[in-house]
Structure 1
Amino acid sequence: MKDMPAADAVVPPQPRDYHGFNWGGFATLYAREVRRFWKVGLQTLAAPVVTALLYMMVFVVAVRGASPPIDGTPFAVFVAPGLIMMQILNNAFANSSSSLLQAKFNGLIGDFMTPPLSPVEQVLAFSLGAATRGVAVGAVTLLAILPFTALPVAHIWAVLYFGIGAALILGMVGIMAGLWAEKFDHMAVVTNFVIMPLTFLSGTFYMVDRLPEPFRSASHYNPFFYLIDGFRYGFIGHAEGSLLAGVGMTAGLVIAMAFACLWMFETGYKLKS
């Protein structure tokens, strides 16, 4: 038999070679994370808004007239930004953490490891997907709260900077928790003993400067305090703490969390075992 001409030789399919950033893979994973919460919008978007409105009912409507203004700001206007930020934090964390933990339980974690996605692309997709949910819930909560109180916007840059920064930070904390947790009890520990206490002890419903010592000083070491304080500053134009410290801390936490998540994906922390 004569050798087949080189031109007619069958060349086996070659794996696709990605140069630089895999935009297609990143966009696909990001879209997956967004569609996860969008498909169950009643649970992921409507339920947090109802929770925020209940808080408004308890802390504002039920005590109308009994709560004096805080530094000249009506109590409802003071509380509303804290409620919005609380929903941003909780929902950004829930999105990424639940995605990874459910993938572990369903045996689908390999779906994140086999595609040609680098750790950078994976971290960006998961964190941006979580941030999208956090910001979306925050925006819907803002619209739902407006009938109760007319929120001014003193500094739009602060609203956007601290709102998006907080969503990214908690989205990456959710990635770390989702990779670390081996069962839902582990996730409940993080939520109930870390996220929730830091949220409620950060000045969401009160001014931390009115707390007795040592709680007043301790509150200024709570990173959530600076996120909420900076976010509230964007609406009312007044900050309890150092605005510069809040801006720097937010940027620093985004960078630190990003490097921590990258390390976990690069080493395959609880992904390859």
Structure 2
Amino acid sequence: MPPIGWAVARRFSCDVPIYTATRGSSTRTARRGACRCGCDAISTSLATARMTATTPTSGGTHMSTDTDQGIRRFGRFNTLGTATLASREIRRFLNVWAQTVMAPLINAALFLLIFTIAIGPQRGDVMGVAFLHFLAPGLLMMTVIQQAFANTSSSLASAKVQGNIVDTLMAPLSPAEVLAGYVAGSVARGLIVAVVITIGVWLFLGVGLAHPFWALTFWVLGSIFMGSLGLIAGIYAQKFDQLAAITNFLVTPLAFLSGTFYSIDALPGFMQVMSHANPFFYLIDGARYGMIGVSDSSPVLGLGVALVSCLVVVGLAWTWLRKGYRLKP
């Protein structure tokens, strides 16, 4: 019961009332009593919270309360947070689908049209198949890896330049979860582009999927590899000029010199060695095997090289995210 001349003014979450003076008590006494009661209420609330947080339950385990800070409550992997980040990345490129999905299809069609007009029927078969049939899988895979790279690199670079990268860094996501979310967006974009172009070349050239498993495997591995590489480029680049330099002087030459438009058997010896050292070559060659059933190298060897390459770039991207390299002051 409150003392005579006092009334309840406020109630804390611990249900300890603070009383204020009403008529019938002196002003000075009321102020002292209100201060004393308020401080006692706050002290009691904090003490109760500490005891709840530090006292073990009957089973000997820690009782989780709202006062626990810095404790991860998502298990070993924050599935919801990772899925949310991946969904954001997917929605980001689908909002401009004409630029991110249809433009690559038109670009590949223009390449095929130009080669058809420029070379004409004089061009013989390559590896036992028509030249356009040989060219189509290479163009498809080159487009897939370029789009996967652009997805993560442009997203991260834009976030850094605009200053909203802090929204991702402050989210309850580990470096592995951030990496998974970004790469999932790249894989989704790469697969959508691959399916759209595959439908196009099937309708106009009659090129289907000779080995669907191998085609899908190399599409996914290529998207993972280039998505992780794009994340590395986005972390490193401090402005769009640096990102454009990486794209123009690294990604594009490696893609064009990876057997997209030719068989490496026609190259001199030293250039064949350089091609075999290029991981892009194995991605494009494996995708070609999955679509038309012919390749310059064994698809099993290509699968091994692609897996090792993915592990290397994924590991480097995870390390940079964990250290906050060029992301945190």
Say whether the fold is shared (TM-score over 0.5). yes
Alpha carbons 2:202, 2:208 under 8 Å: kept:
no
Whole-angstrom distance in 2 between the partners of 1:93 and 1:128:
12
* Aligned partner of residue 153 in structure 1, secondary structure: coil
In structure 2, relative to structure 1, the CA distance for the partners of 1:105 and 1:6 (3 Å cut) is closer
Mapping of residues 36-51 of structure 1, within 5 Å: 36-51=92-107
The normalised TM-score by structure 1 is 0.94
Deviation at 1:82, TM superposition (A): 0.4
* Aligned partner of residue 119 in structure 2, secondary structure: coil
Matching residue of 2:15: 8
Amino acid at match of 2:240: F
Alpha carbons 1:60, 1:75 under 8 Å: kept:
no
1:107 aligns with 2:114: no
Whole-angstrom distance in 2 between the partners of 1:197 and 1:211:
16
Mapping of residues 79-158 of structure 1, within 5 Å: 79-158=135-214
Amino acid at match of 1:268: G
* Aligned partner of residue 148 in structure 1, secondary structure: helix
Q: Deviations over 1:65-97 (max 9, x none)?
A: 121111220111100000110110000000000
Greater length-normalized contact order (CA 8 Å, ≥ 6 residues apart): 1
Q: Number of matched residues? A: 273
1:181 aligns with 2:188: no
1:71 aligns with 2:127: yes
1:28 aligns with 2:84: yes
Matching residue of 1:272: 328
Specify which of 201, 216, 225 is matched with residue 160 of structure 1: 216
Deviation at 1:7, TM superposition (A): 6.2
Whole-angstrom distance in 1 between the partners of 2:117 and 2:204:
8
Q: Deviations over 1:111-130 (max 9, x none)?
A: 11111001111000001101
Amino acid at match of 1:114: M
Matched-pair identity in %: 39
Flag the structure with larger Rg. 2
In structure 2, relative to structure 1, the CA distance for the partners of 1:62 and 1:17 (3 Å cut) is same
Whole-angstrom distance in 1 between the partners of 2:277 and 2:116:
28
Specify which of 235, 243, 246 is matched with residue 299 of structure 2: 243
Alpha carbons 2:198, 2:208 under 8 Å: kept:
no
Deviation at 1:62, TM superposition (A): 4.4
Q: Structure 2 stretches of 5 or more lacking a match?
A: 4-10, 17-44, 50-64
Matching residue of 1:191: 247
Q: Structure 1 stretches of 5 or more lacking a match?
A: none
Cα RMSD of the aligned pairs, angstroms, is 2.1
* Aligned partner of residue 317 in structure 2, secondary structure: helix
